[in-house]
Amino acid sequence: MTTDLQRRRRSDLSEFIRTELDVDALATEMFARYAGEQDIVVEGVTYTTTFFSPDYCPDLRVMKLAGTLALRVNQRAVESLDTVEPMRVTVPEIMLAALLHDLGKQHEDCAPFLQLLEQTDLRGAATAAAAARKQYLLGIVRDVHCRKGPCVIDRLADAGRPELSNPFIVTVARRHGDDYEVNRCTKQGCWWAREINVVTLADDYDAFTSEGPERAYKADHLSSEDALELIRKGVARGRYEPTLAQIFIENVLSN
């Protein structure tokens, strides 16, 4: 590792910039900790709820994609292949944030709008009225679940999850739906704009290509080629950080 890279590190911990990591094994371990029944604390009272199905979970796919992308970024940075900067948080932190990024959808305020989406055949509806209804409901779900995500994470943390006290985790839950250019802007920006965008890229790609029912409100699932074209268009309009998108396409999806 170069001296210049060492100066850019936030921490001297040996695991901070990881270039070798079994992402699949770590994802399985993390997922096992959060799948199934979980204790949460609401206004001082402990309840039990279920966040993820052990059998099928899109957030597990997103976590693996995000972890792989973060690892590839660090590898490019350490190898000095170009001017790529390493991640400002650890790969495991990014993976945990990716797993929990959509927990806001579990909040009671989000439930009625998700039910409306589930009751509507948005993929099969082609009328202008159906399209308008879809965008209206999606706008509400995006707004509510990004605002309530940190609240749900806090409920988990209060029940004995000290790793969730990391401010990066709740920041991803709050900001993953925003474009990269929004997260990096001067007035409302965030120091972790690039790291948040790792999760956004992984989440969007999974949504574009997923055939599962949990993504049915998005649109018809796309081929990998069509999804890549949407990512390239997203780079042009500021949705994705260009270098991250390039590494995602060249070093994650190509493998």
Average pLDDT over residues 111-123: 70
Whole-angstrom Cα distance, residue 123 to residue 107? 25
| Other residues' Cβ atoms within 10 Å of the Cβ of residue 195 | 25
Identify the pLDDT of residue 148.
93
Identify the pLDDT of residue 202.
97
Identify the pLDDT of residue 151.
94
Alpha-carbon Rg for the chain in angstroms: 18
The alpha carbon dihedral of 235, 236, 242, 246 has a sign of: positive
Domains of the chain, CATH where assigned: 21-253 (1.10.3210.10)
More confident residue, 134 or 93: 93
Task: Specify whether the backbone of 241 is left (phi greater than 0), alpha (psi in -120 to 50) or beta.
Answer: beta
80 φ, ψ (degrees, to nearest 5): 55, 40
**Residue 195: closest CA among 185, 207, 183:** 183
Average pLDDT over residues 50-64: 88
